[in-house]
Amino acid sequence: MNTRERLLYIMDRISKEYCSSEQLTFEIFETKNTNKKRLIQKDLEILREHFKEKIIKTNKKYKFLKVPYFMQNIATTDGIKMKELIEFLMVFDNKMLSLFEKEEPFLIQNLKKEIRSIYLIFEPPLEIINPTFSDEIKRAIINTQYMTITYKGNHHIETYIDIKPYRIIYGEGNWYLAIYDANWDKKYNLLRINFIQSVKLHSKTFHKDIEIERAIESFQSLLAKPDKKSFEVIIEVDGVGIKHFKKKKYLKSQKIIKEDRKKLTISFQITDALEITPLIIKKWMPYVVVVSPKSIQETLCRDAEKFLEKQRRLMDDKKDI
Task: Summarize pLDDT for 111-141 with one digit per residue, the tens.
Answer: 667 666 666 666 656 677 777 788 889 999 9
The model's confidence at residue 143, banded by pLDDT at 50, 70 and 90, is very high
76, with CB counted inside 10 A (0-12, 13-18, 19+), is exposed
The C-alpha torsion from 312 through 315 and 316 to 321, rounded to 10°, is 170
Average pLDDT, the chain: 83
Confidence at residue 124, expressed as pLDDT on a 0 to 100 scale: 59
Strands (E), the chain: 19-20, 55-58, 61-64, 145-152, 157-171, 174-180, 189-192, 196-205, 231-238, 255-259, 263-270, 288-292
Mean pLDDT of 13-41: 91
Q: Say how far apart CA 193 and CA 178 lie, in whole Å.
A: 10
Q: 95 or 4: whose pLDDT is higher? A: 4
- Considering the entire predicted model, what is its pTM? 0.58
Confidence at residue 187, expressed as pLDDT on a 0 to 100 scale: 74
The model's confidence at residue 94, banded by pLDDT at 50, 70 and 90, is low
The model's confidence at residue 92, banded by pLDDT at 50, 70 and 90, is low
**How far does CA 53 lie from the centroid of its chain?**
28
Confidence at residue 60, expressed as pLDDT on a 0 to 100 scale: 87
The model's confidence at residue 84, banded by pLDDT at 50, 70 and 90, is low
Confidence at residue 115, expressed as pLDDT on a 0 to 100 scale: 67
The answer to whether residues 175 and 194 touch, using CB atoms and an 8 Å cutoff, is yes
Mean pLDDT of 98-102: 58
Confidence at residue 127, expressed as pLDDT on a 0 to 100 scale: 72
